[in-house]
Chains A and B, each alone.
Chain A
Amino acid sequence: MKAISRRRFLQSSAALAGGLVISFWLPGGGGRNAFAQAAPAPKVSPNAFLRIGKDGSITVMVKHLEFGQGVNTSLPMILCEELECDWSKVRYELAPAGPEYAHTVFGMQMTGGSSSVSNSYEQLLTVGAQARTMLMQAAANQWKVKLADVRAEKGFIVGPGGKKLSYGQLAEAAAKLPVPEKVALKDPKGFTVVGKPTRRIDSLEKIEGRAMFGLDVKRKNLHTAVVAHPPVFGAQVKSFNADKVKGIPGVTHVVELKSGVAVVAENFWSAKKGRDALEIAWDLGPGASINTASLKTQFLETAKTPGKSAKKADNADAMKSAAKSLVAEYQVPFLAHAPMEPLNCTVEVRADGAELWVGSQFQGVDQAAAAKALGLKPEQVKLNTMLAGGGFGRRANPASDYVTEACEVASKVKVPVKVVWTREDDIRGGYYRPMYAHRVEVGLDAQGKVAAWNHTIVGPSIVAGTPFEGMMVKDGVDPTSTEGVADTPYDIPNMNVQLHTVNPGVPVLWWRSVGHSHTAFVMETMIDELAAAAGQDPVAYRRTLLAKHPRVARVLDLAASKAGWGTPVAPGRARGVAVHESFGSICAQVAEVSLNGNEIRVHKVTAAYDCGLVVNPMGVEAQLQSAIAFGLSAALYGEITLKDGRVEQSNFHDYRVLRMNEMPLVEVHLVPGGDKPTGVGEPGTPPVAPAVANALFALTKKRVRTLPLGSAKWA
């Protein structure tokens, strides 16, 4: 997701939320909300982010969804840096949907764009400093001394003569004090928490099976619903026969929905058996003619025609005067997110409103969508954020598909209900990373240098038809389709970037690293191809094009030197390199690969990462391992195909993902320095596909321009 101005986003998100005014944090504003109707700050807290118990416990409210990226640890670390508390007493709590938890840049509560830490950084440092100041003031008042005569130290305020009061003892008095408008923040050089490798604080509950994910919600009289979704996108129920369902013990309701037919039962297994026993006649509609095989051909043909311009060459005739030109066509498939926890949402409708439990990346959007589906006002809907078993963008759906579906079931059956998608529902349920085709023509001058670059991209738009369209699409160009190409750091003269936005009728969505998930593959394999054509070393060649971007060059150099670039590699293996900037961070990777017949083996990935100021090095290392594993699943195996509108994959046996025996050794090197945090969760994904493709080229001299690489003939 691109950064957009807060003002524009606020306007659109207000529309999106059906009139709900979205609030946001005012830095230094003392926890007040920008709009009057926001909830008042709770007691015993300087604002909505922190609770200090009388027992000294420190609870930090985490406004972002925890779905693996570690915000339950990194966000409290930021706050506690200024609070000067005892880290062992710190707990997290997942914040519910609420205007006080809005993203400081996007203006609505959401988790995406690798921005959880960066948008919270100043906010939570400020909260910590405000709370510490209030605790200090409370102690100073009690001791009748000046504020300057007391200091904070590991959960205590220390006064003249070494007298001490704990934060727990001071919490009640501190909460009655005004929130200081202005607080001075520490010089990062004096940080003791931020920057220190820190283990997650939510490990043990997850290791012992106690952690509560959305799927684990327990409520009195809770029913489970499993829904028969349309076999092709856009199909409608013509009629259905539930005769065989009614005899299944445990089944309580069968209800028709906009999205299909739901079977509701006292437990999952009865609901699932009921769903499978439904006989439904569908009005298939035009979705039944979607075939990815023909879409591939169409996309490549369309790429030969002029599209909307995302970037214009200074000299439009540069290509004509090139001494030589090189044309390459690329294809990437639809991809499912396939988070480990299947999608689910629990809804309880009561006389005065409703309550939801859901692992959501879009709490505010989902709350508004739930209200609309239930005929309530957003403030009548309490949305509890649950831990989520992965998400990768799938839980950030502007259409709130599974949330709306759960609300529709709940409103019809009048009992608390948990809608559970099976893995098959997830893999076949759409909202995929779009498939794209790229056509790249590079003109070289007589010396073999790049003189012109025409780049055409064809694919569906992620934001088209959503409230994001108005604020993000400019002159017909969805930046999530072109990011990573139009803004390349390479010094490429006379670059034309054009986009064809097409709509084949398959729902699409952001998928970890969004547009960069395909643009890095195209750019970084093409650059590699040009290096080979020029007879130059791939690292040296890139450096010549990065003279104006020393930060990128530095990351590339670090990865190359740590990987032993240029030194001999084990027999049967080869190395490939890629570097890519996204979400404000730069990641370079060197992959070492071999082939066993046609099976690709990635042995090692040496990664260098500049993600600005690092809050938790242990967490960043984990995120880089994660981003590489996620990117490798797609690079090697990932592909959703449709035949006559039917998705051909259904579960992990035919939608293959990386397993333990396929995981490379990932070595992480962080670039030191940086005064502010930039993105962490996503920027590690884009470079791995091109690094592996380039290594395979070095090994075989075969240039494969279609993903997944595992589908190519290598042997």
Chain B
Amino acid sequence: MAKFFVNGDPVDFRAAPDTPLLWALRDQLGLTGTKFGCGMAQCGACTVHVDQQPTRSCITPVSAIEGKRVVTIEGIGSTSQGATARAVKAAWVDKDVVQCGYCQSGQVMSAVALLQRNKSPSDADIDAAMSGNICRCGTYQRVREAIKSAAATLKKA
């Protein structure tokens, strides 16, 4: 059993404590925006924020997040990071980043975390923050453009 918060709501999780947060979100809470890609923190499709830190939910057991605040792609727009999330989403649409879209929840969550701590990320900063998020469609170039565009929008705000 574990107690934590998801998108602001308290969760009382009663299934096996070794259950990865990813599957607690998807199977128990029905939050399917967070994706399963590899199950071993290799691809980043399952990225959520735990106490504002980008976290691979596929290898994070619920027992490790007792009392912590989890934010998923479904909730990121209405948190204290909402302004950053909105700028990122708008840039993603404007730059037409998405292809199949399966990895994009994770890409957006990683990008929001990057822009929260770095207002003007360089190419090297983007490489460092985003290289854990695999995209088999190869949307990387537009992801990079969108992050820079979102950063510019946030500076103006």
- Inter-chain contact B26/A626, CB cutoff 8 Å: no
Residues from chain A with a CB closer than 8 A to the CB of B101 are 68, 202-203, 205-207, 211, 387, 389
Asked if A573 lies at the interface with its beta carbon under 8 angstroms from chain B, I say no
Q: Does A690 interact with chain B (Cβ within 8 Å)?
A: no
With contacts A224-B27, A269-B27, A666-B141 known, is A340 near B15, CB below 8 A?
A: no
Asked if A341 CB lies within 8 Å of chain B CBs, one says yes
Known: A215-B36, A269-B19. A626 touches B104 (CB 8 A): no
Q: Determine the chain B residues whose CB is within 8 A of the CB of A249 once the complex forms.
A: 15-16
Given that A67-B100, A339-B136, A340-B100 are contacting pairs, would A207 and B43 also be in contact in the complex, using a CB cutoff of 8 Å?
A: no
Q: Which of A204, A212, A652 has the most CB of B within 10 A?
A: A652
A283 to B83 Cα, complex, angstroms? 58
**Bound-complex Cα distance A661 to B40 (A):** 20
Question: B142–A341 contact, CB under 8 A?
Answer: no
Q: Which residues of B64-117 are within 8 A (CB) of A?
A: 72-74, 77, 89, 92-94, 96-105, 108
> In chain A, residues 669-691, which have Cβ atoms closer than 8 Å to a Cβ of chain B?
none
Residues from chain B with Cβ under 8 Å of A250 in the complex: 15-16
Q: A264-293 CB contact bits vs B (8 Å, 1 = yes)?
A: 001111100100000000000000000000
Q: Main SS of chain B's interface residues?
A: loop
Q: Is A92 an interface residue (CB 8 A)?
A: no
The answer, among A209, A424, A665, for a CB contact under 8 Å with B73, is: A209
Question: A626-B139, A653-B40 are known contacts. Are A213 and B96 too (CB-CB below 8 A)?
Answer: no
Assess the B93–A203 pair: CB atoms within 8 A.
yes
A626 and B138 contacting across the interface, CB-CB below 8 Å: yes
- Whether, in the assembled complex, B134 has its beta carbon less than 8 Å from a beta carbon of chain A, the answer is yes
Cα-based distance from A665 to B145 in the complex (angstroms):
11
In whole angstroms, how far apart are the Cα atoms of A420 and B74 in the complex?
23
**Would you call B102 and A389 a contact (CB within 8 A)?**
yes
Docked-complex contact A200 and B89, CB < 8 angstroms: no
Task: Give the residues in chain B near A70, CB-CB below 8 Å.
Answer: 99
What separation, in Å, do the CA atoms of A407 and B125 have in the docked complex?
A: 47
Looking at B19, B32, B45, B132, which has the most chain A CB atoms within 10 Å of its CB? B32
Contact with B along A622-646 (1 / 0, CB 8 A): 1001111110010000000000000
Q: Are A423 and B92 in contact (CB under 8 A)?
A: no
Task: Check A622–B15 contact: CB distance below 8 A.
Answer: no
Contact pick for A210, options B20, B33, B97, CB 8 Å: B33
Chain A residues near B30: list those with CB within 8 A: 218
B104 touches A207 (CB 8 A): yes
A457 within 8 A of B: no
Asked whether A649 is an interface residue with its Cβ less than 8 Å from the other chain, the reply is no
User: Does B130 interact with chain A (Cβ within 8 Å)?
Assistant: yes
- Tell which of A210, A218, A389 touches B103, judged by Cβ atoms closer than 8 Å: A389
Query: Which A residue sits closest to B126, measured CB to CB?
Result: A660
CB of B96 within 8 A of CB of A618, answer: yes
A273 to B92, CA, bound (A): 37
Which A residues lie within 8 Å of B39 (CB)? 422-424, 651
Q: How far is the CA of A250 from the CA of B23 in the complex (A)?
A: 13
CB of A96 within 8 Å of the partner chain: no
A341 touches B100 (CB 8 A): yes
List B127-144 residues whose CB lies under 8 Å from chain A.
Answer: 127-128, 130-144
B74 proximity list for chain A (CB < 8 A) = 208-210
With a cutoff of 8 Å between Cβ atoms, the chain B residues found around residue A392 in the complex are 136
Using CB atoms, name the residue of chain A closest to B102: A389
Q: Are B33 and A660 in contact (CB under 8 A)?
A: no
Query: Please, how many angstroms separate the alpha-carbon atoms of A67 and B103 in the complex?
Result: 12
- Are B98 and A629 in contact, CB atoms less than 8 angstroms apart? no
A506 contacts chain B at the CB level, 8 A cutoff: no
A206 to B33, CA, bound (A): 8
Given contacts A338-B136, A390-B136, A660-B144, contact A203 B96 (CB under 8 A): yes
Q: Which residues of B contact A652 (CB under 8 A)?
A: 38, 42-43, 134
Q: Does A216 contact B (CB under 8 A)?
A: yes
A625 to B138, CA, bound (A): 6
User: Looking at the complex, which one of A206, A218, A658 makes contact with B32 (CB distance below 8 Å)?
Assistant: A218
When distances are taken between beta carbons in the complex, the residues of chain A under 8 Å from B131 are 659-661
List A198-248 residues whose CB lies under 8 Å from chain B.
199-200, 202-213, 215-216, 218, 224
Q: List 27 A-B contacts (CB under 8 A).
A: A68-B99, A199-B94, A200-B98, A203-B96, A203-B101, A205-B101, A206-B102, A207-B89, A207-B97, A209-B73, A212-B32, A216-B32, A267-B28, A387-B101, A420-B36, A622-B99, A625-B139, A625-B140, A625-B141, A629-B140, A633-B136, A651-B42, A652-B38, A652-B43, A657-B134, A660-B143, A661-B128
Going nearest first, the 7 A-B pairs with the smallest beta carbon separation are A209-B33, A629-B138, A389-B102, A206-B101, A68-B100, A209-B73, A68-B99
> Interface of B with A (CB < 8 Å)?
15-16, 18-20, 23, 26-28, 30-40, 42-43, 45, 72-74, 77, 89, 92-94, 96-105, 108, 126-128, 130-144
Known: A203-B101, A211-B101. 8 other contacts (CB 8 A): A215-B35, A216-B32, A340-B135, A388-B100, A622-B142, A626-B139, A629-B140, A652-B42
